[in-house]
Amino acid sequence: MAIKDILLPLIGEPSPAAITAIEKCVAMAVDIGARITAVAIEIDVGVAVRPHVVVSEIAEAEQSLSNAKGLLAAFDSAAIRLGARSQQAIQRVAQPDIGAYLARCARLTDLTVVPSRPHHGELESVVERLIFQSGRPIVLCPEKLAEPLASTFEHVAIAWDHSAPAARAIADAMPLLQAAASVRIFTVTDAPTSAELDSGAALVEHLALHGVTASFETVLRGGRSVGKVFCAEVKVHAIDLLVMGAYHHSRLNEWIWGGASNTILNEPPCWVLMSH
């Protein structure tokens, strides 16, 4: 199924890095022929419904609205300049409810693209909700790398471990894989096994049935974390988009991320498509 409808949540301040990332997200949507809908979040601090409000809370509410308008202004400028099919809105949401609200929005789109900042607790919570509660894939756009990022996904890598999340990510990414110039599958391992080699070969064959020509190889971990290996592979092979499964388990209502997912979430080395 082609990607026709993209959600772009806008959270935080309209910093230069955020504005550059917004522009790249709009350009990406134009490249794949999708409509992009920006939803800027205004934090609801309860000023309008509380009888006693301190000056700092009023200032916080005003700043949040100003930030949302600034982000939408950047989005509107990029959409007009690039000729994007677009929609936009500001939504006032209490901070604890942002992730759940955006997950509900994402269920009615094909893909959510999220400008990502390193070790940002609020955004991490939103991404968790989007991945594990929306039923849709997300694409991370690293703000600090946005300037040199290509807006097209010519060279794609798939992190493959024969798991259900990885299989789901591949299915979700299929339109992007079919449009790519090259697709490289890799499995990180301490020592290649026949099962890993057979699995990789089977995936190459499966993708070929969908018109995707892919290569496969195993990559030795060599004492590194799996997430670090992913980042190195992206750099060495000039990858535009990394496709991977997202892993977590829940304990006492807390999200606990797997090691590779956590590394990539906090510092994506390129565009990253994640599914669960």
Q: What's the total number of domains in the chain? A: 2
Parent domain of 226:
155-275
Task: Answer whether residue 15 is part of any domain.
Answer: yes
Q: With CA atoms as reference, report the closest residue to 276 among 261, 254, 259, 256.
A: 261
Cα–Cα distance, 55 to 51 (Å, whole number)? 13
Kindly state whether residues 22 and 61 are assigned to the same domain. Answer: yes
Q: Which helix or strand (DSSP H or E) is residue 79 part of?
A: helix 55-82
- Residues 17 and 98 occupy one common structural domain: yes
Q: Determine the 3-state secondary structure of 237 from DSSP.
A: coil
The tokens for 93 are 């949401």
pLDDT for 259 equals 67
Question: Taking a C-beta distance cutoff of 8 angstroms, is the pair 189, 196 a contact?
Answer: yes
Distance of alpha carbon 109 from alpha carbon 180, whole angstroms: 22
pLDDT bin (cut points 50, 70, 90) of residue 248 is low
Note the pLDDT tens digit of each residue in 69-126: 999 999 999 999 999 999 999 999 999 999 999 999 999 999 999 999 887 778 888 9
Q: Residue 30: which CATH number?
A: 3.40.50.620
Determine the Cα–Cα distance for residues 26 and 8; give it in Å rounded to an integer.
9
Q: Which of 22-36, 107-121, 136-150, 162-176 has the lowest mean pLDDT?
A: 107-121
Q: Which of 145, 177, 206 is the last residue of a domain?
A: 145
Q: How would you classify the pairing of strands 248-251 and 254-257?
A: antiparallel
Cα separation, 124 vs 176, whole angstroms: 25
Is this model's pTM higher than 0.95 or not?
Answer: no
The confidence score (pLDDT) of residue 256 equals 40
Q: Mean pLDDT for the chain?
A: 91
